[in-house]
Amino acid sequence: MKVALDAMGGDNAPQVNIAGAIEALRNYPKLNHLFLVGDEAILRREAVAHGLNLTDRRVSIVHAPEVVGMAEPGAKSVRRKKLSSISVAMDLVKDGQADAFVSAGNTGAAVAAATLKLRCLKGVDRAGIASPLPNEHGICNILDAGANPESKPEHLVAYAIMGTAYAKYVLGVKNPKVGLMSNGEEDEKGTAFTKETFKLLKATPGIHFIGNVEGHDLFETQLDIVLCDGFVGNIVLKSVEATAKAVSKWLKTEIKETPLRMAGALLAQGAFKALKAKSSYETYGGSPLLGVNGVVIIAHGSSTGLAVQNAIRVAVETVEHKINPRIEEAMATLQDAAVPHLPSLE
């Protein structure tokens, strides 16, 4: 299995990408080759600094002289910077040299490059990002978390089908539960958009749709997929991340107020570490962009080496479980069932 890593992508690139690459090569024997895509001189220097052996046949550098900055407009930058690390890495997947793409860089650019170069799968009009959130029952994926901010109801139906396939075949969930993000659990709640989406989801076979869900359900309810447009999903995801950071900061401040609290915290150190591991994005690594004709994993912009390592793991697992053929199979089955609100496979 071959993975193309955008080694120049992310707030802390390329150092964390090289560190993550080293651990991925060490821990994932199914990773046959890792392409490090970026400025060759910089990557060689970082490889030496981190002790990455470039004579290893499992790793190579692919030169890409340009970088899309984190604050640059995604689609425009992809068109303007044709030799950026994102574009060159995506070309490796397009040309069949790599099985998957991983980047902690500009999300908009990664989505644009994937859509332009790889195109969407048959029956899929818009790709969506499935971002994992830990809850009491396991992992709940927000879909879409930012790829398509102006979705149509039929797009969310496709997200439900793709998310179900991902949860079932990659994450191993037997009968994935799908909910629709709204401002109340009652069937009649929501905007015109969510009401129409609700109606379509109820009429779609092959998914376990449980109805409308609210914000608290992300953490309390046994859910595998929560559907929303990319605008709402991105706000939800960033709000959750910011809240977790704020609570952690407040807790540390309060613990330091008295020696007794500090002593208690020392005794509870194991619990704190377990909670951090469960709630940290580093543990989950990256989010798949579902619906494009290739495996694309988008990692957090502030990824550490551990996060990059786990993003590569997600890429390997997603390729291994053949998610795209599973999605196409599910879409074709529903087309055969003549579900009227699905995009045509033509």
The topology under which CATH files domain 125-283 is Isopropylmalate Dehydrogenase (3.40.718)
Residue 33 is inside which H or E element, if any?
strand 33-38
State residue 296 phi and psi, 5-degree precision. -125, 120
Strand partners, 290: 128
Domain boundaries, the chain: 1-124+291-322, 125-283
Q: Are 192 and 221 in contact (CB under 8 A)?
A: no
Instruction: State in words which class domain 1-124+291-322 has.
Output: alpha beta
**How many residues in the chain?**
346
pLDDT tens, N- to C-terminus, the chain (346 residues): 999 999 999 999 999 999 999 999 999 999 999 999 999 999 999 999 999 989 889 999 999 999 999 989 888 999 999 999 999 999 999 999 999 999 999 999 999 999 999 999 988 999 999 999 988 888 999 999 999 999 999 999 999 999 999 999 999 999 999 999 999 888 888 999 999 999 999 999 989 999 999 999 999 999 999 999 999 999 999 898 888 889 888 989 999 999 989 999 888 888 888 877 777 777 788 999 999 999 999 999 989 999 999 999 999 999 999 999 999 999 888 766 666 666 655 5
Tokens describing residue 256: 């330091």
Do 1-124+291-322 and 125-283 fold alike per CATH? yes
| Segments of 201-323 assigned E as strands | 208-213, 225-227, 286-290, 295-299
Long-range contacts for 82-85 (Cβ within 8 Å, ≥24 apart)?
84/109, 85/6, 85/7, 85/8, 85/9, 85/37, 85/38, 85/39
Tell me the C-alpha to C-alpha distance, in Å, between residue 11 and each of 16, 99, 238, 247.
9, 25, 16, 23
Q: Are 166 and 288 in contact (CB under 8 A)?
A: yes
Tell me how crowded residue 46 is: count the other CB atoms within 10 A of its CB. 22
Tell me the C-alpha to C-alpha distance, in Å, between residue 56 and each of 33, 53, 174, 253.
10, 6, 39, 46
